[in-house]
């Protein structure tokens, strides 16, 4: 028997809304199977609850727009009925970002799937619903690549990347999604369609910036124009072993303040043992492109670690989309999650130790480990993994997040690339300080009826 934690407040209106949507030619479903498919994202609390046939919420209907005009019609109708709309890309988000806690309409963006390559301008225009793996395949076929490669490449969408400010495995050299993005087509909460020409830079504040990382609260991304590049012909892979995380991080700083490798990762002792069967701290490096030889020579000359050859890099590349840990842990009643933060070189090791200790100190934690995954001249991203058991898994889980976020605040940013969603919303005011109210005001201005992704990011009502 299916249990729903939060019931919709809009069930009575839905028949009329569906009739209206169909009248303007929108595909829409009220079948239970579709509604279950659009009831949650990949947040582990939802996965654990599924074992008990429990869902956090259910939308009343799922709409399948095929273009920006359809999305605009949906928003106009939703406004006229004051009914919420929750935007879904691949639902691979992990921070309880799209869960339709208030009920209403779930918007599946997956049918906005057009891809158009402009080889001369080195751009690709992609519909918001294009899944990353498909985009990369189409580009590779023509000799191009996006070099945006999140671990969730095969289950996340272009719109989701922009909305969550995603970061890929090669971000150290090629940048995060905001560096790869050139322009957007967006439907505002009132249904207005706005589209920017793909220009290299813009006067005043770039309006595209309002939507990067906005998690669907300011508008619905329908299309993105992104930079592409030729697939690099040459690469070198190198791995090292260090005695401590401190030594490895210091060596990483030396590298990225000289040049940007395509791939750079450092795994603490626990993760090095698990991933490479190495007793120590492993750093993997991949350099690619025209300067690959010179960059390899720099790394070999300057990095003060034990040389491990290229096998650890090959092993990691082979496993880089493997997410089977989740399906191994969840059925055992173990909760498993990751927390990523960004910090500067100045207090990197303090952040690393504080957060790891905060997680380990929570009763029920079975393991807590960390790797450093994205690097900048100014600092880096630490990515913590934890697993735990408890009588009340949800309480345990929330306590870990609370302790980790409190440890991060003041010394680090509470998120590097997974975003805020409902999960991190309560720590955002402290993170943003005075800007928090500005963003709340903007939300009210753009979305007067608060119908687009309500309960997320800057709105703490209506969440689970």
> What minimum distance in Å lies between the beta carbon of 70 and ligand FAD?
13
**Residues belonging to the chain:** 464
Query: 30 vs 327, which CB is nearer to ligand FAD?
Result: 327
**Two tokens, residue 159:** 């719109």
> What minimum distance in Å lies between the beta carbon of 51 and ligand FAD?
18
Asked if 283 and 305 touch (Cβ cutoff 8 Å), the reply is yes
Query: 176 vs 251, which CB is nearer to ligand FAD?
Result: 176
Query: Long-range contacts: 269-274, Cβ < 8 Å, 24+?
Result: 269/245, 270/367, 270/369, 271/369, 271/370, 271/371, 271/385, 272/241, 274/369
Query: Following DSSP, what letter does each residue of 351-370 receive, concatenated?
Result: HHHHHHHHHHTSTTEEEEEE
Query: 70 vs 251, which CB is nearer to ligand FAD?
Result: 70
Asked if 436 and 111 touch (Cβ cutoff 8 Å), the reply is no
> Which of 437, 421, 4, 443 shows the shortest CA–CA distance to 215?
421
CA distance 353 to 376: 20
> What minimum distance in Å lies between the beta carbon of 304 and ligand FAD?
29
Residue 449 in 3-state DSSP?
coil
**Tokens 């005001």 belong to residue:** 441
402 Ramachandran zone, left/alpha/beta (phi>0; psi -120 to 50): alpha
Query: 37 vs 122, which CB is nearer to ligand FAD?
Result: 37
Footprint on this chain of ligand FAD (rule: CB under 6 A): 41-42, 87-94, 97-98, 109, 128, 150-152, 156-157, 159-161, 163-164, 166-167, 215-216, 220-221, 323, 417-419, 453, 456
Query: 138 vs 188, which CB is nearer to ligand FAD?
Result: 188
Query: 261 vs 419, which CB is nearer to ligand FAD?
Result: 419
> What minimum distance in Å lies between the beta carbon of 204 and ligand FAD?
23
> What minimum distance in Å lies between the beta carbon of 42 and ligand FAD?
4
Residue 348 in 3-state DSSP?
helix
175 Ramachandran zone, left/alpha/beta (phi>0; psi -120 to 50): left
**Two tokens, residue 260:** 């940007």
Query: 217 vs 287, which CB is nearer to ligand FAD?
Result: 217
> What minimum distance in Å lies between the beta carbon of 402 and ligand FAD?
21
Query: 169 vs 251, which CB is nearer to ligand FAD?
Result: 169
Handedness of CA 66, 69, 75, 80 (dihedral sign): negative
Query: 161 vs 242, which CB is nearer to ligand FAD?
Result: 161
CA distances from 362 to 88, 326, 397 (A): 33, 21, 9
User: Is 220 buried (19+), middle (13-18) or exposed (0-12) by CB count in 10 A?
Assistant: buried
Strands 281-288 and 235-242: antiparallel
In the bound complex, which residue of the shown chain has the CB atom lying closest to ligand FAD? Answer: 160
What's the alpha-carbon Rg for the chain, to the nearest Å? 22
> What minimum distance in Å lies between the beta carbon of 315 and ligand FAD?
18
Query: 102 vs 299, which CB is nearer to ligand FAD?
Result: 102
> What minimum distance in Å lies between the beta carbon of 453 and ligand FAD?
5
Helices vs strands, H then E, count in the chain:
17, 20
> What minimum distance in Å lies between the beta carbon of 223 and ligand FAD?
9
> What minimum distance in Å lies between the beta carbon of 120 and ligand FAD?
27
């Amino acid at each position: 028997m299916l249990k729903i934690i939060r019931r919709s407040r809009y069930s009575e209106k839905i028949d009329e809304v569906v009739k209206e949507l169909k009248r303007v030619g929108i595909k829409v479903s009220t079948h239970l199977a579709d509604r279950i498919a659009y009831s949650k994202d990949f947040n582990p609390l939802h996965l654990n609850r599924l074992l008990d046939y429990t869902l956090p919420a259910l939308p009343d209907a799922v709409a399948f727009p095929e273009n920006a005009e359809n999305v605009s019609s949906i928003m106009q109708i939703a406004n006229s009925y004051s009914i919420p709309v929750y935007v879904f890309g691949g639902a691979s988000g992990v921070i309880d970002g799209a869960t339709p806690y208030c009920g209403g309409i779930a918007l599946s963006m997956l049918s906005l799937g057009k891809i158009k390559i402009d080889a001369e301008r080195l751009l690709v225009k992609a519909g918001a619903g294009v899944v990353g793996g498909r985009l990369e395949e189409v580009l590779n076929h023509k000799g191009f690549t996006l070099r945006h490669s999140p671990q969730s490449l095969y289950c996340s969408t272009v719109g989701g990347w922009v909305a969550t400010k995603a970061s890929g495995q090669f971000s150290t050299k090629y940048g995060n999604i905001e560096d790869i993005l050139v322009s957007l087509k967006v439907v505002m909460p009132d249904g207005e369609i706005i589209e920017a020409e793909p220009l290299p830079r813009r006067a005043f504040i770039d309006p595209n910036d309002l939507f990067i990382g906005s998690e669907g609260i300011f508008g619905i991304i329908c299309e993105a124009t992104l930079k592409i590049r030729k697939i690099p012909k040459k690469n070198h892979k190198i791995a090292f072993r260090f005695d401590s995380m401190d030594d490895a991080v210091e060596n990483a700083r030396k590298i990225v303040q000289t040049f940007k490798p395509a791939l750079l990762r450092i795994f603490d002792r626990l993760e090095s043992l698990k991933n490479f069967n190495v007793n120590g701290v492993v750093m993997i490096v991949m350099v690619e492109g025209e300067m690959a030889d010179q960059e390899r020579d720099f790394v070999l000359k300057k990095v003060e670690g034990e040389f491990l050859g290229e096998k650890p890099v090959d092993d990691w590349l082979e496993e880089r989309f493997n997410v089977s840990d989740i399906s191994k842990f969840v059925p055992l009643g173990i909760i498993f999650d990751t927390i990523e933060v960004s910090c500067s070189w100045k207090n990197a090791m303090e952040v690393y130790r504080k957060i790891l200790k905060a997680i380990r100190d929570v009763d029920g934690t079975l393991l807590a480990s960390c790797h450093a995954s994205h690097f900048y001249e100014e600092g880096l991203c630490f990515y913590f993994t934890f697993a735990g058991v408890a009588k009340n898994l949800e309480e345990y889980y929330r306590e870990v997040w609370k302790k980790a976020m409190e440890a991060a605040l003041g010394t680090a940013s509470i998120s590097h690339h997974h975003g805020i969603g409902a999960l991190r919303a309560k720590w955002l005011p402290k993170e943003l300080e005075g800007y928090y109210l500005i963003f709340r005001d903007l939300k009210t201005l753009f979305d007067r009826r608060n119908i687009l992704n309500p309960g997320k990011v800057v709105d703490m009502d209506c969440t689970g």
